Amino acid sequence: MGNIFKKIEGKTIPMAMFILLGFSVLMMLVFMNSQPSIAPTSAEASTATTSVTVLNTPPQWTIDAQESTESSTNTPTNAGSDLSITGIGTDSNNDPYFLLVCKTSGAPTPFSNAPPECSGGSGNRWSRSATTTSATNATSTYVTQASDAELNDWFAFICDANASNPACNATYKVGTYPTESPFVVNHRPSFTVFTDNSPKDPGQTVTWTTTASDADVVVTADTVQLFVCKANDFTGTACGAGGTYCSTGASTTDPSCNFDITIPTQDRNYTAFGFVVDNHNFAASGGAEGSDSVLTVNNVTPTISSSTIALRDTDSVGDLTLLTMATQTPGFSVRFTITDDNSCLNASSGNEISQVDINVFRSGIASTSCLVSGDYNANNCYPEAAGIPVWNTSSSTQLTGTCSGASDPDAVWATSFPLYYIADPTDAGSQFPSQDWQATVRASDNNFATSTWTQTETGNEMTSFLAFDLLTVAINYGSLQPGDQNPFLVQNATTSATGNTGVSLNLSGDDMCTAYPSCSYNATDTIPSTEQHYASSTVAYASGTALSSTTPAFFDLAVPKSTATSTQANRATDWGIRVPPAITLAGAYTGKNTFVSVVSDSSDW
């Protein structure tokens, strides 16, 4: 009977087995009672069943807990980043387990049907893994916080997930160098103020200043570094493709940096984004990070160098030469280079220069005396202020191809203008041989900033323009008998000065006959040219000068230089004739007198 019970590996015998055993015993008793009685005998041996409950045991460390990535003063974990602790535990019952990372070394509490908890509750827990298969790697991850201290001790435990009797290993792990406790949290620098001292001119220096610092001080205090980017493209360690205005080295607090504004730079607002990082390249917080200080570049006044101003002839070569008598000669020009430190190209891709003005004058007229409309004098002063229709300078243009783009400060401009026929000559023999013609120019940009008047460094000569008009096309001596003459020189021929000089004449003439120009030159039918006399006033015939028939003779008529644009200076030549007594052929005698102008002495102008 003692062999009926079987030891089952130290495990408790289930209830169904007890029922089965009880029924078997009952049947045996019934059977035995039905047998004939036998005299009792003495028992030589007996048995007793044994049982014990073996409790669950905790998992054991197979690989100690470590930080998956070193978190130290050299390589701290940025606040907001994950800190992961890893390790491997093996459970003898093959139960799954948890990796629990606590803030204290107190023994954790395991729970049935629930994850374990650190001593003191969840407030003392850094992190806890999910249930992990025995003998496999467990990872417990904590998202670091800005509120965390710099140094943070951690203690790793492993607890199984046994349903009835969970257990935790009492031995905690703290890692090994360099992935050991404590983990180090790097906090963002504080960056609350970012500003610049613009507006500034091209060529000046702009300075960016900040209010920025870093509170981390473990081992050595963290430093801060400022980057000022032209675009909002900071990579975390440098400005991107947009470029950098300036950056600093490591600074304990409030970094600042400078930038020299290049020449040229267009006048407008430019983005300037500020970024502060600590010595671990952790970006700042505080509101100013990535903000735009708005760099403002001033508009500046354009300038003109006197050496670039050229007063040019109508063909752009040589001295100034008038071409049209008694009116204006168009096509003269002033060409000059305008420099603008805001570039020759404005922010709208148009010309930075919007207007140019010129004054043109003989150098004996001070530049300050040829500025306003009342200074206008067609002989010697053409001010821009005279305006149309008095003087037309409306054809000012920027020459194509002289502005290469926003990086070019210079552009060449030209203004075309006319000059009247009376503009004073300055060449040898004129009234002003030691002078020349000059120009002053100025320029205004698209913001109406206007340069000062700048005068040519080297002027240009105005050549003498000899021109005249013979207002009399016929000299009629009337009717005379052979041997008669005009008693006085009363018939006149008027000469006017239509250039910029005084005028005298070279005179000559042909013999007169009834078949002119086919004269026979016989005394009876030809009146020699010498029978014509001339003078500059009404004198007796005999007092006049005989007209030459061969070499032109100089006659100092001395018509003054014209000084008005609408009327010309003029003088008359008085003429008379004698009909030789030898003339026998009656009829209308004709001929031709030639008037050739010459420049009179300038003292007569």
pTM above 0.85, yes or no: no
Q: Which residues contact 70 (CB under 8 A, 6 or more apart)?
A: 178, 179
Query: pLDDT digit string (tens) for 276-306?
Result: 999 999 999 989 999 999 999 999 999 999 9
Judge whether 278 lies within some domain.
yes
Per-residue confidence (pLDDT) for residue 312, from 0 to 100: 98
Per-residue confidence (pLDDT) for residue 286, from 0 to 100: 87
Whether residue 202 sits in one domain with residue 178: no
3 or 415: whose pLDDT is higher?
Answer: 415
Query: pLDDT digit string (tens) for 464-478?
Result: 999 999 999 899 999
Per-residue confidence (pLDDT) for residue 43, from 0 to 100: 56
Judge whether 54 lies within some domain.
no
Residue 26 has pLDDT above 50, yes or no: no
Whether residue 314 sits in one domain with residue 235: no
Whether residue 220 sits in one domain with residue 164: no
Residue 39 has pLDDT above 60, yes or no: no
Q: Helices (DSSP H) in 40-87: which residue ranges?
A: none
| Residue 99: pLDDT band with limits 50, 70, 90 | very high
| Residue 519: pLDDT band with limits 50, 70, 90 | very high
Query: pLDDT digit string (tens) for 320-365?
Result: 999 999 999 999 999 999 999 999 999 999 999 999 999 999 999 9
Judge whether 21 lies within some domain.
no
Per-residue confidence (pLDDT) for residue 45, from 0 to 100: 87
Per-residue confidence (pLDDT) for residue 234, from 0 to 100: 98
Per-residue confidence (pLDDT) for residue 149, from 0 to 100: 97
Residue 119 has pLDDT above 90, yes or no: yes
Amino acid at 500: N
b/e 127-140 (16+ beta carbons within 10 angstroms → b): bbbeebebeeebeb
Query: pLDDT digit string (tens) for 164-179?
Result: 999 999 999 999 999 9
Whether residue 178 sits in one domain with residue 71: yes
Judge whether 34 lies within some domain.
no
Per-residue confidence (pLDDT) for residue 33, from 0 to 100: 46
Whether residue 356 sits in one domain with residue 276: no
- Tokens linked to 603: 């003292």
Judge whether 33 lies within some domain.
no
Q: What average pLDDT does range 523-550 have in this prediction? A: 96
Whether residue 586 sits in one domain with residue 524: yes
Q: Where does a domain end: 277, 296, 315?
A: 296
Q: Where does a domain end: 430, 455, 480?
A: 455
Per-residue confidence (pLDDT) for residue 3, from 0 to 100: 33
Provide the CATH number for the domain around residue 210.
2.60.40.10
602: phi then psi, degrees, rounded to nearest 5? -60, -20
- For the chain, what is the mean pLDDT? 93
Whether residue 157 sits in one domain with residue 123: yes
b/e 269-308 (16+ beta carbons within 10 angstroms → b): ebebbbbbbbbbebbbbbebbbbebebebbbbbbbbeeeb
Query: pLDDT digit string (tens) for 213-241?
Result: 999 999 999 999 999 999 999 999 999 99
Reported as type and span, the H/E element at residue 18 is helix 15-33
Whether residue 417 sits in one domain with residue 319: yes
Query: pLDDT digit string (tens) for 365-401?
Result: 999 999 999 999 999 999 999 999 999 998 999 999 9
Per-residue confidence (pLDDT) for residue 550, from 0 to 100: 83
- The whole-angstrom separation of Cα 140 and Cα 516 is 132
Residue 7 has pLDDT above 60, yes or no: no
Q: Where does a domain end: 296, 327, 354?
A: 296
Q: How many CB atoms lie within 10 A of CB 31?
A: 9
Residue 2 has pLDDT above 50, yes or no: no
208: phi then psi, degrees, rounded to nearest 5? -100, 130
Q: Which residues pair with 334 in a beta bridge?
A: 311, 415
Judge whether 235 lies within some domain.
yes
| Domain count along the chain | 4
Whether residue 124 sits in one domain with residue 259: no
- The whole-angstrom separation of Cα 539 and Cα 479 is 20
Per-residue confidence (pLDDT) for residue 44, from 0 to 100: 76
- The whole-angstrom separation of Cα 409 and Cα 340 is 5
- The whole-angstrom separation of Cα 186 and Cα 278 is 9
Judge whether 43 lies within some domain.
no
Judge whether 4 lies within some domain.
no
447 or 28: whose pLDDT is higher?
Answer: 447
Nearest of 536, 481, 546 to residue 508 by alpha carbon: 546
Burial (CB count <10 Å: 0-12, 13-18, 19+), residue 16: exposed
Radius of gyration, alpha carbons of the chain: 59
- The whole-angstrom separation of Cα 498 and Cα 503 is 9
Whether residue 310 sits in one domain with residue 438: yes
b/e 525-545 (16+ beta carbons within 10 angstroms → b): bbbbbebbbbbbeebebeebb
Whether residue 128 sits in one domain with residue 114: yes
Quick one: what percent of the chain has pLDDT higher than 90? 89
Per-residue confidence (pLDDT) for residue 113, from 0 to 100: 83
- The whole-angstrom separation of Cα 291 and Cα 274 is 6
Query: pLDDT digit string (tens) for 489-502?
Result: 988 999 999 999 99
Q: How remote is the C-alpha of 508 from its chain's centroid?
A: 73
Q: What average pLDDT does range 130-153 have in this prediction? A: 97
SS3 28: helix
Give the structural domain span for 441: 303-455
Q: Which residues contact 126 (CB under 8 A, 6 or more apart)?
A: 83, 85, 101, 102, 103, 140, 142, 152, 154
Per-residue confidence (pLDDT) for residue 42, from 0 to 100: 55
| Residue 36: pLDDT band with limits 50, 70, 90 | very low
Quick one: what percent of the chain has pLDDT higher than 70? 93
Provide the CATH number for the domain around residue 593.
2.60.40
SS3 29: helix
Residue 544 has pLDDT above 80, yes or no: yes
Whether residue 217 sits in one domain with residue 168: no
